[in-house]
Amino acid sequence: MLFPSLFAAIGSCFAQFILAMLICLASTLPVSALQLNGANLLAGEAVEGGVIIAAVPAGAQVTLDDMSVATDADGRFMIGFHRDSPDIMILRVTGADGVTQQTTLGARQRLYDIQRIDGLKSAYVSPPDDVLARIAADADDVKRARTRHDAGGQAGDFLRGFDMPVTGRITGIYGSQRILNGAPRAPHYGIDIAAAKGTPVLAPAGGRVTLVKDLYFSGWTVLITHGFGLNAAFLHMDSVSVASGDVVRRGTQIGTVGSTGRSTGPHLDWRLDWQGRRLDAALVRQQIAVSRISG
Ligand SMILES: [Zn+2]
């Protein structure tokens, strides 16, 4: 018996901590434990930053709270959960027979790091008045791009798994509370991958380019829709080799790694969102990989 002797040796306070950890692990539901009424779960889990992918019979309609959720020809759909997801959402599936079944979805909470970044130019932490209009215009353009869901025949290619857009050391993760030059700022929603300036950035799955723009904070940025309401963003690029409206395939070069915008060195910041709800690209990639939806 390892545990009792371990507890005796290290004291009851730490033992309680271990016990709490075990209970916490036990309450982490595996994929199969999430029951959806009226839909089959194909992948994922209701967790902050994650997704569920499920399928309904032909002709069924899906809503999340008051929002209509798009399904593809096979009845597949996706739901994404923001870092600060509302406590409970209602998923309703209405069959072709008019019967509605519902499931309450609550995203499991996660704990997040605090990340301090110093040495940023002050104009990027507290922007001067003369760039506020540009920042507002940037936000409008990004918001509009995220409403474009036509993936140009590449919708759902990501269900075969996401490739990494670039290989390198992970230097930033999803959800970290940011303290920039000592001042608390919004959380970080991307994963940062350090790589040399000029390293090719490849589309991790097929989709359509919805925005190419040099944004104040994000520098040269490319947005891609992958279908199912899922959008990707690639930030701080040195150069861009695609244009808005282009259809890209998995592996198509979209640009090169850089350090444009609010950045302290060459890296790629890769982000995903579902209908504007910020997802954890690393987690979603893992959730899809373990499910093997499309072989
Ligand atoms: Zn970043």
235: its two tokens: 């930030």
DSSP 238: S
- What pLDDT score was predicted for residue 33? 64
Query: What is d(CA 141, CA 194) in angstroms, rounded to the nearest whole number?
Result: 27
Report how far ligand 1's centroid is from the alpha carbon of 292 (Å): 28
282 and 144, same domain (yes or no): yes
pLDDT tens across 186-233, in order?
899 999 999 999 999 999 999 999 999 999 999 999 999 999 999 999
- What pLDDT score was predicted for residue 294? 61
DSSP per-residue string spanning 30-42: -GGG---TTSEEE
188 and 229, same domain (yes or no): yes
Domain count across the chain? 3
Report how far ligand 1's centroid is from the alpha carbon of 235 (Å): 8
Which residue range(s) make up the domain with 73?
35-105
Report how far ligand 1's centroid is from the alpha carbon of 199 (Å): 17
Is pLDDT of 19 > 80? no
The structure tokens 């509009």 sit at 144
Last residue of a domain, one of 44, 71, 105: 105
- What pLDDT score was predicted for residue 165? 98
Report how far ligand 1's centroid is from the alpha carbon of 223 (Å): 15
121 and 228, same domain (yes or no): yes
Mean pLDDT to the nearest integer, 134-153:
95
- What pLDDT score was predicted for residue 125? 87
Instruction: Please indicate whether residue 181 or residue 241 has the higher confidence score (pLDDT).
Output: 241
pLDDT tens across 263-280, in order?
989 999 999 999 999 999
pLDDT tens across 34-79, in order?
889 999 999 999 999 999 999 999 899 999 999 999 999 999 999 9
Query: What is d(CA 218, CA 200) in angstroms, rounded to the nearest whole number?
Result: 18
53 and 148, same domain (yes or no): no
- Model confidence at 8, in pLDDT bands (50, 70, 90)? very low
145 and 221, same domain (yes or no): yes
Report how far ligand 1's centroid is from the alpha carbon of 286 (Å): 19
164 and 63, same domain (yes or no): no
- Model confidence at 84, in pLDDT bands (50, 70, 90)? confident
- 138, containing H or E segment: helix 132-145
178 and 241, same domain (yes or no): yes
Q: Which residues pair with 44 in a beta bridge?
A: 52
DSSP 186: P
22: its two tokens: 């075990």
Report how far ligand 1's centroid is from the alpha carbon of 271 (Å): 9
**Per-residue b or e along 51-66, where b marks 16 or more CB atoms closer than 10 Å to that residue's CB:** bbbbbbeeebebebee
Long-range contacts of 170-173 (CB under 8 A, 24+ apart): 170/194, 170/282, 171/267, 172/115, 172/267, 172/269, 173/113, 173/280, 173/282
- What pLDDT score was predicted for residue 35? 87
Report how far ligand 1's centroid is from the alpha carbon of 270 (Å): 7
Mean pLDDT to the nearest integer, 14-20:
48
Report how far ligand 1's centroid is from the alpha carbon of 218 (Å): 9
- What pLDDT score was predicted for residue 223? 98
pLDDT tens across 146-187, in order?
999 999 999 999 999 999 999 999 999 999 998 989 988 889
Report how far ligand 1's centroid is from the alpha carbon of 134 (Å): 20
68 and 143, same domain (yes or no): no
Last residue of a domain, one of 56, 80, 105: 105
Report how far ligand 1's centroid is from the alpha carbon of 269 (Å): 5
Report how far ligand 1's centroid is from the alpha carbon of 192 (Å): 5
